[in-house]
Amino acid sequence: MLDVICEKCSGRLTVEGLNTFSSCPGCRLKQKVVLFSSIEKEPEKGAAPEAVLDDHAACINHPEKSAAALCDGCGAYICNLCDIEIEKQHLCPRCFNNTADEISSVSKKTELHDSRALAIAFVSILIGPLSLLTAPIAIGWALFHWNKINTPYKRGKWRFVVTLMIATGLFFGWSVWLIYRIWI
């Protein structure tokens, strides 16, 4: 078990497993803890850290440790502890933080597609006959993103269902009204 500090209230968050969601007992914020792979490993019994030899380079952050790689971002020597290997690159912690937005496998935001679809459906209610155009957009959004709920907290598909009901009702309602107005 790891002891982690909550990002919101700075309370103690007890994490039982990596890459799982845990709730903070203080503020109830659900957080996902992802750790570097070296933290998961048990230290080898009796193995000492690699000391820097006279003809070897030292880590820029840990001068007492031997360098294991060069940072692809800044070219600094880094030890095994500092080496973050991601997408076939070796990065030091500073370069990783600076380029995290550019790395495709690092996601920092959550897309709430179900809420967007519901918002489009509600806007369709407000714009009257123009919902003949926006209701199909809401329906398409809901159906296309039906299985794309990936949030740190549980979200059901009820927003998609409500979106489909509202948008379908609006579309057929305005279609019938339009046909009635044209024929009479």
CB atoms near residue 129 (< 10 Å): 11
- pLDDT for 166 equals 93
Position 47 pLDDT exceeds 50: no
Region 37-47: what's the mean pLDDT?
48
Work out the mean pLDDT of the chain and round it to a whole number: 78
- Tens of pLDDT, residues 105-130: 665 567 788 888 999 999 988 888 88
Q: Residue 27: name the closest of 11, 15, 5, 16 by CA.
A: 11
Q: What distance in Å separates the CA atoms of residue 167 and residue 137, rounded to the nearest whole number?
A: 9
Listed residue (124, 108, 119) closest to 160, CA to CA = 119
Confidence (pLDDT) at 136: 93
Taking each continuous run of H as one helix and of E as one strand, the counts in the chain are 5, 8
With contact defined as beta carbons under 8 Å apart, do 123 and 116 qualify? no
Which SS3 state, helix, strand or coil, does residue 158 take? helix
Q: Is 63 a residue whose pLDDT tops 80?
A: yes
Contact predicate 114/138, CB 8 Å:
no
pLDDT at site 46: 41
Model pLDDT, residue 108: 58
pLDDT at 96 over 90: no
Is the pLDDT at 34 greater than 50, yes or no?
yes
pLDDT of residue 137: 92
- In this predicted structure, the answer to whether residue 143 has a pLDDT above a threshold of 80 is yes
